[in-house]
Amino acid sequence: MIERTVTICNKAGMHTRPAAVLVKTAAKFKAELTIKKDAFEINGKSIIGVMTLAAEKGSSLILKFDGPDEESAAAAVVELIERGFDEE
């Protein structure tokens, strides 16, 4: 299992579109993804879960990847968040 801490950097935060992109990216891998924000912990492959996080700009998330391809899953998801979901 790998754990990564990321900060949401796009202006609008994790609204519907970024949430959908994140779920789609995570779903490409076998590894399970758990996202923790404050006291909440949700499944990173579930759109309703990711929407519920209400992660605004500047909020910090702990991502846990667990599975055979956890390395590449972590690389892809972390990069996506750090790119700000390709939004301005």
Partner 1 sequence: MDDTTHTTDEFVIKGIAAAPGIAMGPAYLYTKQVPRVERKPILPDEVEAEIERLNAANARSEKELRKVLAFAEQKLGSDSAKIFEAQIMILTDAILMGTIKKRIAAELINAEFAVTDEVNKYRQMMLASPEEYMHERARDVDDVVNRIIRNIRDQKLFSKLEGASIIVSETLAPADTVIFSRNQILGYATDLGGVTSHAALLSRSLKIPAVVGLHSATKQIKTGDFLAIDGYAGALIINPGADTLKILQARAERFLAFEQQLAGIAALPADTLDKKHIELSSNIEFAEEIVFAQLQGSEGVGLFRTEMQLIGRAEYPSEDEQAALYAGVAEAAFPHPVLFRTFDVGGDKIAPDGQHEENPFLGWRGIRVMLDRTDIFLDQLRAILRASTRHNVRVMFPMVSTVTEVQRAKALLKQAMEDLKRRGIKYDTRIRVGVMIEVPAAAVMAEQLAAEVHFLSIGTNDLVQYLMAVDRGNDAIAPLFQPFHPAVVRTLRHIVEAGHRKNVWVGVCGEMAGDPLATVFLVGIGVDELSVIPPVLPEIKKIIRSIKLKDAKRVADKVCALHTEREIRAFLSSIIKNKVPEIPFDL
> Active-site positions?
15
CB of 48 to partner 1, least distance (A): 5
Of 13 and 81, which CB lies nearer to partner 1 in the complex structure?
13
Name the site residues for partner 1 (rule: CB under 8 A): 11-13, 15-16, 20, 27, 40, 43, 45-49, 51-52, 54, 56, 88
Of 4 and 49, which CB lies nearer to partner 1 in the complex structure?
49
- Those residues whose C-beta lies under 8 Å from the C-beta of residue 2, and which sit 6 or more positions away, are 64, 65, 66, 70, 71, 74
Beta strands in 1-88 (DSSP E): 2-7, 32-37, 40-43, 60-66
CB of 40 to partner 1, least distance (A): 6
CB of 87 to partner 1, least distance (A): 8
Tokens 């579930």 sit on residue: 46
**Could you tell me the two tokens for 6?**
């990321």
